[in-house]
Amino acid sequence: MYSIAIHGGAGTLPRALMTSSQESAYRAGLAAALDAGYAVLDLGGTSLDAVTAAVRMLEDDPLFNAGRGAVLTHEGTVELDASIMDGRTLAAGAVAGVRHVRNPVDLARAVMEHSPHVMLIGAGAEEFALASGMALVPNDHFLTDTRKAQLGRVLAGDARPANELSALGTVGAVARDRAGNLAAATSTGGMTGKRHGRVGDTPIIGAGTYADNAVCAVSATGHGEYFIRAAVAHDICARVAYSGLTLAAAADAVVLDRLQKMGGEGGIIAIDAQGGVVTSFNSEGMFRGARTSGGTREISIYRD
């Protein structure tokens, strides 16, 4: 079975505040990314290419907190983080604090494939982007009026749910291809009003992203500080590998029990070695979608 799952963040609006036109727009964005990733798998492509394609589309969609439409720092700029991992080889790439790279997931992948390193940060990451032939874009490529207004409200001390949701925004994808190889990728703008230089779990291999063909692939979204402290992505894989739990049981143990007790809000998407998709979240909702060669195709926001 080949399959893909994506998420667009755990920071959904409370159901009562989500208008039907907003919901339609989010669903359309998720569907486009899901189908783009699935098409790669369906045509015999790799899981790495599938997660890259899906995350790239979510980065380009201004609705989601990654790439264009990312939330703003305290200073009103955008600082982006991303990571990717190849479950076949355990190769990984990550970037943090980049401000001029249109698709951070592409840069994370370039770090993985074309450098001896796993993680590059800040200006050094952008120097590597240029050396890799990527064109840089001005920081205002990423800015949207919605995020500017959100930052204004946050800086004014308004902590209503419509603003808080942006603390939990991230995008990500996990996939298993026809050859049985797993991959995971995650990308984000972080938290609205974040301090310059703050890095959450997204670019941390083992926290926001992990993939190991023998076990599972995981992409996380939520309050990053807690996800780092709990090493969420690796811990889920470890519980499968060492405790013999199913992926669903391992994910729930970490997200609904351990994280919940720590106060860490958010969720994960994951895929097991056979292509089975699992989602788990302790937030009110999580933008997500899954599609498998078995014929399943689902887009969801809240609990059903």
Tokens for 33, please give them. Answer: 């990314």
Using the 8-state DSSP alphabet, how is residue 72 labeled? P
Contact 142, 80 (CB under 8 A): yes
Which range touches a second copy (CB under 8 A), out of 119-127, 168-176, 266-274, 292-300? 119-127
Q: How far is the CB of 79 from a second copy (least distance, A)?
A: 8
Residue 99 in the binding site for a second copy (CB under 8 A) = no
Among residues 12, 46, 170, 279, which one is catalytic?
Answer: 170
**Which residue, 61 or 86, is less far from a second copy as judged by CB?**
86
Contacts of 137 (CB under 8 A, 6+ apart): 100, 101, 102
Among 18, 137, 262, 273, binds a second copy (CB under 8 A): 262
Strand residue runs (E) in 67-110: 80-86, 92-98
Burial label for 47, CB within 10 Å (0-12, 13-18, 19+), is buried
Q: Roughly what angle, to the nearest 10 degrees, separates helices 104-114 and 122-131? A: 70
C-alpha to C-alpha distance for 15 and 75, rounded to whole angstroms: 31
- DSSP character string of 214-270: TTEEEEEEE-HHHHHHTTHHHHHHHHHHHH---HHHHHHIIIIIIIHHHT--EEEEE
**Which residue, 27 or 117, is less far from a second copy as judged by CB?**
117
Q: How far is the CB of 30 from a second copy (least distance, A)?
A: 29
Radius of gyration of the chain (CA): 17
- In whole angstroms, what separates CA 78 from the centre of its chain? 17
Which range touches a second copy (CB under 8 A), out of 23-31, 101-109, 125-133, 150-158? 125-133
Q: How far is the CB of 45 from a second copy (least distance, A)?
A: 23
Q: How far is the CB of 64 from a second copy (least distance, A)?
A: 22
Q: How far is the CB of 98 from a second copy (least distance, A)?
A: 10
Residue 97 in the binding site for a second copy (CB under 8 A) = yes
Window 50 to 79, contacts with a second copy (CB under 8 A): none
Number of residues that bind a second copy (CB under 8 A): 45
Among 22, 24, 243, 274, binds a second copy (CB under 8 A): 243
Active site residue 77: no
Positions touching a second copy (CB under 8 A) are 85, 90-92, 96-97, 115-125, 127-128, 194-200, 204-207, 210, 224-225, 228-231, 234-235, 238-239, 241-243, 262
Active-site positions?
170
